[in-house]
Amino acid sequence: MNIAGVVVFAKPQESTGLRTRLSELPGVEVHAVNEEGKLVVTVENEYESELADTMMQMQSMSGVLSASMVYHHNENNINVGEQP
């Protein structure tokens, strides 16, 4: 499981619509939006490649100026006591 914190900078006039479009992406949750067009987002995906694809989708959305990952956590699905 991969969990990432992302700050999205958008054109202020498009931030409300962008919130909806971002929320439609699998594993994406928008936590906050301000008047200047900054959005606080988390992304949860199983694989790092999915996370990278989601970031690329965010960056290519209309109204997005930039999307920056500010936090990343990777959790292996190995039970305690098992060998990798």
Annotated domain spans of the chain: 2-74
Instruction: Report if pTM > 0.75.
Output: yes
Cβ atoms of 43 and 28 closer than 8 Å: yes
CA distance 54 to 28: 8
Cβ atoms of 72 and 2 closer than 8 Å: yes
Across the chain, which distance is largest between two alpha carbons, in Å? 52
For 26, the enclosing helix (H) or strand (E) is none
pLDDT at 76: 74
List, for residues 27-82, the tens digit of each pLDDT value.
999 999 999 999 999 999 988 899 999 999 999 999 999 999 999 999 876 555 55
CA distance 54 to 26: 8
pLDDT at 75: 83
User: What is the fold, at CATH topology level, of the domain defined by 2-74?
Assistant: Alpha-Beta Plaits (3.30.70)
pLDDT at 22: 97
Q: For the ranges 12-16, 19-23, 74-78, which has the lowest average pLDDT?
A: 74-78
